[in-house]
Amino acid sequence: DVKVTQSSRYLVKRTGEKVFLECVQDMDHENMFWYRQDPGLGLRLIYFSYDVKMKEKGDIPEGYSVSREKKERFSLILESASTNQTSMYLCASSEGLGGSSLHFGNGTRLTVT
């Protein structure tokens, strides 16, 4: 089975802190994604990557950056955390460009105070 592991299940940070959310997948998938989920808004794509060192902005990239130095790891960075970034963050991976099944991690619930 594909395993997508997010480093923290719950995280509490202060406004202005730099926050790192880590995601690791074990199936050599090319594509990796970061979403945030908020009530009534569904899942919104922040950034995605289709290869090492490659990244593309999703629908809501403002206030975030990403890093993909190795194929299995995709990091989401909140440069200066703000209260409106309190949310559930979900990482996912999938196989190549054909759009095969997407596999999600368990999510990180981030609270910014």
Partner 1 sequence: GIQVEQSPPDLILQEGANSTLRCNFSDSVNNLQWFHQNPWGQLINLFYIPSGTKQNGRLSATTVATERYSLLYISSSQTTDSGVYFCAVIEYSQGGGNKLTFGTGTQLKVEL
Residues contributing to the site for partner 1 (CB under 8 A)? 31, 33, 35, 40-45, 48-51, 54, 56, 58-59, 88, 90, 92, 94, 97-104, 106-107
Which is closer to partner 1, CB of 14 or CB of 69? Answer: 69
Which is closer to partner 1, CB of 19 or CB of 90? Answer: 90
Which is closer to partner 1, CB of 17 or CB of 51? Answer: 51
The least CB distance from residue 42 to partner 1, in Å, is 4
The least CB distance from residue 21 to partner 1, in Å, is 15
Residues 98 and 73: beta-carbon distance below 8 Å: no
Which is closer to partner 1, CB of 80 or CB of 111? Answer: 111
Nearest to 6, CA basis, from 78, 77, 92? 92
Q: Which long-range contacts (CB under 8 A, 24 or more apart) does 55-63 make?
A: 58/33, 58/34, 60/36
The least CB distance from residue 17 to partner 1, in Å, is 24
Amino acid identity at 36: R
The least CB distance from residue 14 to partner 1, in Å, is 24
Buried b (16+ CB within 10 A) or exposed e, 40-78: eeeeebbbbbbeeeebeebeeeeebebbbeeebebbbeb
